[in-house]
Amino acid sequence: MSFDSVHFFIFFFIAVLVLFFIFKKARLIWLLICNYYFYMCWNVKCALLLAFITLCTYITGRFLETTKEEKNKKWIVAGCCIVSFSILFIFKYFNFFIDSINNLLNMTGTGKTIGLRLDLLLPVGISYYTFQSVGYVIDVYRGEKAEHNLIKYAVFVSFFPQLGSGPIERGKNILSQLEELKTGNLRDYDRIKNGILLMLWGLFQKIVIADRLALYVDTVYGNYQNYGLLVIVTALILYAFQLYCDFDGYTNIACGVAQIMGVTLMQNFKRPYLATNIRDFWNRWHISLTSWFRDYLYIPLGGNRKGNFRRQLNVLIVFCISGLWHGASWNFVIWGAVHGLMLVGYNLFSSSKKEKNVSFSTKLRNGIVTFAVVDLAWFFFRMTSLQEAFAILSQMTRELGDFSDILGVLANGDRNILIVGMIILFVVDLVHEKGISIRDWVKGQEIWFRYILYVGVISACIYLGVHSGVDGVRQFIYFQF
């Protein structure tokens, strides 16, 4: 069930309506029912896996609370992590692991291969809810209070707005809000308006910008043999914005949906393409995942406490694993390693001069360079395999092409809409970067202006979603991770 489908909006309307008027003590039960219905719309059997991970980490948290011996606590956490990550490995990485061994055996010329493969459906969101629940267990081990209410904990793990693609939340943020949900007043109209505005902006990013960019990008990469260097590079630049608008669009819809239902999710993006260095970029992009790896992998590995060499090695390890988290393919590992090397280079060679003392022209130059290196790394992220990546790189060296080819990929109507949408995106991000809240500005306008704006955005999303070259509802990119 995609956020930009009619099915979702019918489901969401019913979920919110019942939540607002049901007995307060029954709110969590209703939310749990909604969460599992939402998930089972993808696959009923996968809901059993979600329930198992929930029970496993819930029981682990309770055991940790009653266990006094530090050594025993470590064994309990280790056992939970092994079980949780083994499930993730089997469903997401087993075939990749076997294929990698077979490729290595073929390279050695032994003639032997492993014929074992698993024909398993990758459960939607498994990387997200596994990381979220394991993070909860580690927090309990570190001293956070374990959750006793199984229903509340199950709602936390399966909360449908962020179940498919995050943000990867922390227990202390969501569980406390779910506790307030049992007694609080949900009909806070200011909060509801904020949620609606977030949803509208997310839908605009997804339907108007990301899906239209996808038409260009998919056309070029699906027929790369017909295009030259200029068109392929243009597609790569546009893919950076497709990925951003698709993922940030999902996050804004998720945050808006959650806010309407009385829960505030963490900010997952902070205008990443306005970053002026690679470290700044990772402080702005997929913030929940970056902070998860920092708190639960980088710091336990030693962080920056064991010398400079160990610090840079830890950075490389974290980014390689982050790449693998995104997908069971070596191109994702390369993408992560490239970012790790860029961050190591920045740590070793960057100037200590503070950003606030740098001139605007220097910031602009640094921003362009940062976007360029990030965009080059996205090339490996977009590819389905290393073979495809090398084939496209080879095609780029054969033909330059001309600027008319760039304009000819999309029809005039889609191209003009895309240009307007991109201009709006840049203006909104620049305004927010200045600390100005567009939502607050909109809410401060006359009621007639607000509702004309709301109706206009909704109408544009519906019209442009129907009258485009997109074949049906296009799934969010990060659902595959």
* Residues recognised as catalytic: 326
**How many residues does the structure list for the chain?**
481
Say if CB 226 and CB 233 are below 8 A apart: no
204: left (phi over 0), alpha (psi -120 to 50) or beta: alpha
Rounded Cα gap, residues 151 and 112, in angstroms: 50
- Which residue type does 22 have? I
- Residue pair 433/271 in contact (Cβ under 8 Å)? The answer is yes
Residue of 170, 137, 129 whose CA lies nearest to 62: 137
Chain-centre distance for alpha carbon 285: 9
Task: Report how far Cα 197 is from the mean position of its chain's Cα atoms.
Answer: 20
Q: Judging by beta carbons within 10 Å of its beta carbon (0-12, 13-18, 19+), is residue 392 exposed, middle or buried?
A: buried
Do 202 and 253 touch, CB atoms closer than 8 A?
yes
Q: Which helix (H) or strand (E) holds 147?
A: none
Distance CA 442, CA 425 (A): 16
Q: What are phi and psi of 69, to 5 degrees?
A: -70, 125
Q: CB under 8 Å to 161, separation ≥6 — which residues? A: 253, 254, 255, 257, 258, 261, 263, 265
Q: How far apart are CA 188 and CA 193, in angstroms?
A: 9
Residue 200, C-beta contacts closer than 8 angstroms, at least 6 positions apart:
256, 454, 457, 458, 461
Each as own residue / partner, the long-range contacts of residues 424-431 (CB below 8 Å, 24 or more positions apart, any chain) are: 424/204, 425/205, 425/209, 425/241, 425/245, 428/201, 429/271, 429/273, 429/274, 430/274
Q: Reduced to 3 states, what is the DSSP secondary structure of residue 59?
A: helix
CB distance 381 to 478 below 8 Å? no
